[in-house]
A = this chain, B = another copy of it.
């Protein structure tokens, strides 16, 4: 087991990464000195696989867990589902020292985290991310929230978990398309922060795809470390943290304008990263050879790297970008790469360049 500490003063916590962690959930929670009442929030895909183990582990450790199962998928990440969770927590009489376990992928983590952040103005929560994407992405950063009809993650909070357990065994049941989606974020960490890590991914990709525990643990831990370093310098997204959005400006717009579900998050940001790399070549000095390495690694990971857009779709995509939270004074700003491992945020890109890139996507 590897432990990655996330240092945020009073809000510091640990990410534990390894095989066989889920059956230890109760024992790990017992060390946090929380109240007895608790709730596991999971979804209809993940619940049948892991809820019994989690539930029994909590009971064995003396807790009184309530199991809440929300519908699977991005569409469930809305305020109606949040309301239903609140009502169940209140009926089970969760108090301020009670806690929520968020067990599932990013949707469950974001939604359950938001529920924990706002129920009784905030109760503790523990994350058990069960997808590669959520293990490397939502384990760190404290971003929780839900979607509006107008866009993704438009409602939320910054709220830190007390503990994150990344059980590698959970990845064994993950469909390969979902696993690849997680790899898109993994590759991103190399691009934005660590050229050596990127090179290591180019070398170790086959091992990762085979779920070799050692390679996987090292990679997940490094992603969490990088994100923790970035977030530790900028907890509430005033500056540096923006680099984590490499590929996301276009990626979110793709998810949004094609409707949630058509592209998985990682698939959309794989395309977004390839396009951001092209914008970086055009206006930020990224060598063409490096843009090609980015595209090739993402493609080898089993991710889409191109998207064919009609004129209408291009227009829709641009409009979606303008509603993005990262927009300031009506101007879309990008994270662009100078080289693999070095990026800048807040880069202005002329709208014509964006349109040009989308036409060649």
Given A79-B83, A93-B323, A325-B96: A157 touches B157 (CB 8 Å cut-off): yes
Residues in B neighbouring A58, C-beta threshold 8 A: none
A252 CB–B CB distance under 8 Å: no
Residues in B neighbouring A118, C-beta threshold 8 A: 118, 145, 155-157
A85-97 to B contact mask, C-beta < 8 Å, 1/0: 0110011010111
Question: A122 is contacted by which of B82, B96, B157 (Cβ under 8 Å)?
Answer: B157
Given A79-B82, A117-B157, A154-B120: A328 touches B148 (CB 8 Å cut-off): no
Residues in B neighbouring A143, C-beta threshold 8 A: 121
**Interface positions of A from 307 to 358, Cβ below 8 Å from B:** 322-323, 325, 327-329
Q: How far is the CA of A44 from the CA of B87 in the complex (A)?
A: 28
Asked if B158 and A86 make an inter-chain contact with CB atoms under 8 angstroms apart, the answer reads no
A292 to chain B, nearest CB (A): 35
A221-240 to B contact mask, C-beta < 8 Å, 1/0: 00000000000000011000
**Interface positions of A from 270 to 323, Cβ below 8 Å from B:** 322-323
A54-94 to B contact mask, C-beta < 8 Å, 1/0: 00000000000000000000000001001100110011010
Asked if A148 and B86 make an inter-chain contact with CB atoms under 8 angstroms apart, the answer reads yes
Asked if A121 and B151 make an inter-chain contact with CB atoms under 8 angstroms apart, the answer reads no
A99 CB–B CB distance under 8 Å: no
Residues in B neighbouring A156, C-beta threshold 8 A: 118, 120-121
A125 CB–B CB distance under 8 Å: no
Residues in B neighbouring A97, C-beta threshold 8 A: 328-329
A340 to chain B, nearest CB (A): 30
Residues in B neighbouring A93, C-beta threshold 8 A: 322-323
Q: How far is the CA of A114 from the CA of B86 in the complex (A)?
A: 15
Asked if B149 and A87 make an inter-chain contact with CB atoms under 8 angstroms apart, the answer reads yes
Q: How far is the CA of A95 from the CA of B323 in the complex (A)?
A: 8
A35 CB–B CB distance under 8 Å: yes
A231 to chain B, nearest CB (A): 14
Asked if B328 and A90 make an inter-chain contact with CB atoms under 8 angstroms apart, the answer reads no
Closest 10 A/B residue pairs (Cβ) = A90-B150, A121-B156, A79-B83, A120-B325, A118-B155, A90-B148, A86-B148, A121-B157, A86-B155, A90-B154
Q: List 29 A-B contacts (CB under 8 A).
A: A79-B83, A86-B148, A86-B154, A86-B155, A87-B148, A90-B148, A90-B150, A90-B323, A93-B322, A93-B323, A95-B327, A95-B329, A96-B328, A97-B328, A97-B329, A117-B157, A118-B145, A118-B156, A118-B157, A119-B154, A119-B155, A120-B156, A120-B325, A121-B145, A121-B236, A121-B237, A121-B325, A122-B157, A122-B158
Instruction: Report which A residues bind B (CB closer than 8 A).
Output: 35, 79, 82-83, 86-87, 90-91, 93, 95-97, 117-122, 143, 145, 148-151, 154-158, 236-237, 322-323, 325, 327-329
What 11 new A-B contacts, CB under 8 Å, besides A90-B151, A122-B157?
A79-B79, A79-B83, A86-B154, A87-B149, A90-B150, A93-B323, A95-B325, A95-B327, A118-B156, A120-B325, A157-B157
